[in-house]
Chain A
Amino acid sequence: MNLIQKARMKSPWILHFNAGSCNGCDIEILSCLTPVYDIERFGAVNVGNPKHADVLLVTGPVNRRNERVLRNLYDQMLDPKIVVAVGTCASSGGVFQNCYNCMGGVDKVIPVDVYVPGCAAKPETIIEGLILGLEKLAKMPSKPKKGAQPAEART
């Protein structure tokens, strides 16, 4: 593992976006920051700005109002970047599946790298999903990628 890869592994800056979630998963993401889980141990920081972020954590099924926001946030993040869909809603639409206003999952809008299951997703699972994503992030090429990539890893 070279230095850049190691640095990418050890310094994931996270942007958290609620795309119509019921707030259940959001609370679990925030609890990752608390003393109990303390993801800053791994260098992870919750940033408020896509331009600084490496990892996009999305909760919720994505609806027609926030679809363009999600796409814009994703575009504003610099490469290399990964997307983690947190919770069943974000992975597949969950209980909102087939709702008239719902897209039915993050991967209908932007490419997703890791799907974290659970309703709500448990903090331990979220952290594990993050780590899985980071392994992928570290291996990303150092040249800018072209076009969207298909979803791969699943926990």
Chain B
Amino acid sequence: MRDLLIPILVLSPMAGGALALILRGRAARSALVALSAAALVFAAVALASNGLMRYTPGPLTTIDWNRVVLAADVVLLGWFLALAWTRRHPGAFSLALLQAVGFAFLEIRYGERLRVTQGFVVDWLAIAMVLLVSILGSAIALYAIPYMDEHERHHPGVPSRQPRFFALILVFLGAMNGLALSNNLYWTYLFWEITTLCCVLLIAHDGTAEAVASSNRALWMNLVGGCAFLAAILMLAHAQPIGEAMAIDRLVGGPTPYLVPVALLCLAGFTKSAQLPFQGWLLGAMVAPTPVSALLHSSTMVKAGVYLVIRCAPAMQDTGLTNVVALAGAFTFVATAMVAISQRNAKRVLAYSTISNLGLIIACAGLNTAMAVSAAVMLLLFHAVSKALLFLAAGAIEQRIGSREIERMEGLVLRMPWTTALTVLGVLTMLLPPFGVLVSKWAALESAAREPAAMVLFVLGSAFTVLFWVRWIGRLMAVEPGREPEMTEQMPALFRWTMGSVAALAVLLSLLVTQVMQRFVAPVVASYLQVGSEGFRATVADLESRIGSFPVLGLALSLLIAVALAVILASGRRAPTVPYLCGEPPAEGAELAPLGPGDRPAPVRVSGTYLERFFAEERHAAWMTVGGVLLTAAMLGVAAL
């Protein structure tokens, strides 16, 4: 049974995806998605309860798995070439060609050194990642079933592109699990590139000019990452004559002489996590149907990048490289949080906030102390859950009101009370104590307190973050005084269940933050940095470090009491009233319109503030890109010296 877990996690969704292409009926497709979801969740939980293990697949009848991987790599690189060619994108084509040539060189020159004997190593970080991918991925795939039906009604395509859509989603889930579990850079590279391909194809799903353009941008930027990844493999293969050169557990087990490959891997991670200067592709990717954004662009695929950087953390301990990585992450954190303030499109706000949080994770990995790495891993987990919830809610809202504009969501609580409640809950879990993301941010701040640059950037970034979140909830909840929402709302059952369970997960996980710390985070840190209790100690009530403590239980209890109190205080009778408009009563029937000149209603318009004067994207795009390029260059430069 144990030996079946990893094949189930990696191959069964891929098989499900292939079947979804063949069985084109809606019922069959839904059944396939549900089955794959069940298998994934089951296997992931089993894997988690099984704990640490190693696993190498036996030969497939007589064929060595390495050959399968090789064949898959060849197909994949060919696909990239064809894709770039048919899309007439010279940049992407040359990058794909570069990778193809590099790969051929690698195979011909070092082929034998690449054979993998130690396929998969399951450690706690990998388990955490697999749980994320499998549980959130399943929820999102299920959510996509009703979503895509509705989506097709709005964007009719003949023939239906749904089989392709779900096939890509399922293949992607398998690849993500593979990426998390694989212990060998050579195999990881394959999974890495599969996720890129799925991402690029899914962004182009609607086939509009904008979608294709965004897809192209995602293609070339991720191919840059692919090239960096391949270059790292090449350098390692060149440097280490013996086999198992690519074993991650060896490579990153501690300080390594091979800093340049590590820097290249970080660069690959930066592209996948859309760090500055590569933020463009993730923003463009928001044209994709929302389940794609929820799955690939917030909770899982972009996490692959930071996952890789966290993996690399031990290897770059006490080097200049780690400082530059920390700086680059913190820079992204603060810059994108700032620009997010000026965004009027909810999905773009979510995208910027995602990039920003990924930056924070990378910065923590770069700080590279036990506390900081703990913060990084916690943030990885908590952010994924909350952000998935927010994207799912944003998708439900978009389908209902036909817009992603925050201003159009004004007073949404009257029309979609439950979805709004879930959105607000999602934001609160991102923003407030005692929820997990905030606990992680606290951990991040405390671990950065000795590093002036990182600390200052963290503080400023956190201040910006509050602004765009609060404004969004504010628009959702804006209701004229005297009206109270009724808590009834029509929505597909699968929406209700998937969003409800992700929300429950977000809250539950936050309440169990000390458990999460003990089970997942502390072992990662201990195994990683070979340190004892330097990070955080989790007691029943508190999360403690050497320099502070977070009274998780106390705050959760206080919050509970406060909420109960608030509910009691708010439950009293309310007298009818009208908003204060300088004394003028609102005109009959009109919203917020006092009688103006000639006794005609003069509507009052209220809207959110976006401070474009200070934070508009165009104002900051140039220095953000330049800063990103400089920091990335510095990263490679420092590693090379």
Q: In the complex the two chains form, is A76's CB within 8 Å of B584's CB?
A: no
The smallest C-beta distance from A37 to any residue of chain B, in angstroms, reads: 26
Q: In the complex the two chains form, is A69's CB within 8 Å of B580's CB?
A: no
CA distance A70 to B585 in the complex (A): 10
Name the B residues within 8 Å of A76 (CB-CB): 577-578, 580
Name the B residues within 8 Å of A61 (CB-CB): none
Q: In the complex the two chains form, is B584's CB within 8 Å of A72's CB?
A: yes
Report B569-610 CB contacts with A as 1/0, cut-off 8 Å: 000000101101001110000000001000000000000000
The smallest C-beta distance from A53 to any residue of chain B, in angstroms, reads: 11
Name the B residues within 8 Å of A72 (CB-CB): 578, 583-585
Partner of B585, one of A17, A49, A68, A78: A68
Q: In the complex the two chains form, is A17's CB within 8 Å of B583's CB?
A: yes
- Looking across the interface, which residue of chain B has its beta carbon closest to that of A49? B580
CA distance A1 to B390 in the complex (A): 55
CA distance A69 to B596 in the complex (A): 12
The smallest C-beta distance from B73 to any residue of chain A, in angstroms, reads: 69
A154 within 8 A of B: no
A6 within 8 A of B: no
Q: In the complex the two chains form, is A69's CB within 8 Å of B584's CB?
A: yes
Question: Among residues 31 to 55 in chain A, which have CB atoms less than 8 Å away from a CB atom of chain B?
Answer: 49-51
The smallest C-beta distance from A142 to any residue of chain B, in angstroms, reads: 15
The smallest C-beta distance from B14 to any residue of chain A, in angstroms, reads: 62
CA distance A84 to B197 in the complex (A): 76
CA distance A50 to B578 in the complex (A): 11
CA distance A139 to B585 in the complex (A): 30
- Looking across the interface, which residue of chain B has its beta carbon closest to that of A79? B575
Partner of B580, one of A17, A50, A71, A78: A50
Name the A residues within 8 Å of B578 (CB-CB): 72, 76
Q: In the complex the two chains form, is B580's CB within 8 Å of A51's CB?
A: yes
A132 within 8 A of B: no
The smallest C-beta distance from B8 to any residue of chain A, in angstroms, reads: 62
Most buried by A among B575, B577, B583: B583
CA distance A132 to B580 in the complex (A): 28
CA distance A17 to B580 in the complex (A): 14
Name the A residues within 8 Å of B577 (CB-CB): 51, 76
Name the B residues within 8 Å of A73 (CB-CB): 583
CA distance A70 to B578 in the complex (A): 14
- Looking across the interface, which residue of chain B has its beta carbon closest to that of A72? B585
CA distance A49 to B584 in the complex (A): 12
Question: Among residues 263 to 282 in chain B, which have CB atoms less than 8 Å away from a CB atom of chain A?
Answer: none
Name the B residues within 8 Å of A69 (CB-CB): 583-585
CA distance A78 to B580 in the complex (A): 13
CA distance A70 to B582 in the complex (A): 11
Question: Among residues 73 to 89 in chain A, which have CB atoms less than 8 Å away from a CB atom of chain B?
Answer: 73, 76, 78
The smallest C-beta distance from A135 to any residue of chain B, in angstroms, reads: 25
Name the B residues within 8 Å of A70 (CB-CB): 583
CA distance A72 to B575 in the complex (A): 14
CA distance A71 to B584 in the complex (A): 9
CA distance A78 to B575 in the complex (A): 9
CA distance A51 to B577 in the complex (A): 10
CA distance A73 to B582 in the complex (A): 9
The smallest C-beta distance from A77 to any residue of chain B, in angstroms, reads: 10
Name the B residues within 8 Å of A68 (CB-CB): 584-585, 595
Name the B residues within 8 Å of A17 (CB-CB): 583
The smallest C-beta distance from B455 to any residue of chain A, in angstroms, reads: 42
CA distance A51 to B575 in the complex (A): 12
CA distance A50 to B581 in the complex (A): 11
CA distance A76 to B575 in the complex (A): 10
CA distance A32 to B585 in the complex (A): 29
- Looking across the interface, which residue of chain A has its beta carbon closest to that of B579? A76
The smallest C-beta distance from B623 to any residue of chain A, in angstroms, reads: 43
Question: Among residues 220 to 240 in chain B, which have CB atoms less than 8 Å away from a CB atom of chain A?
Answer: none
The smallest C-beta distance from B572 to any residue of chain A, in angstroms, reads: 13
CA distance A38 to B584 in the complex (A): 30
The smallest C-beta distance from B592 to any residue of chain A, in angstroms, reads: 14
Name the B residues within 8 Å of A49 (CB-CB): 580
A-B contact pairs, 11 of them (CB 8 A): A17-B583, A49-B580, A50-B580, A68-B585, A69-B584, A69-B585, A72-B584, A72-B585, A73-B583, A76-B577, A78-B575
Q: Which 4 A-B pairs have the closest CB atoms?
A: A72-B585, A69-B583, A73-B583, A69-B584
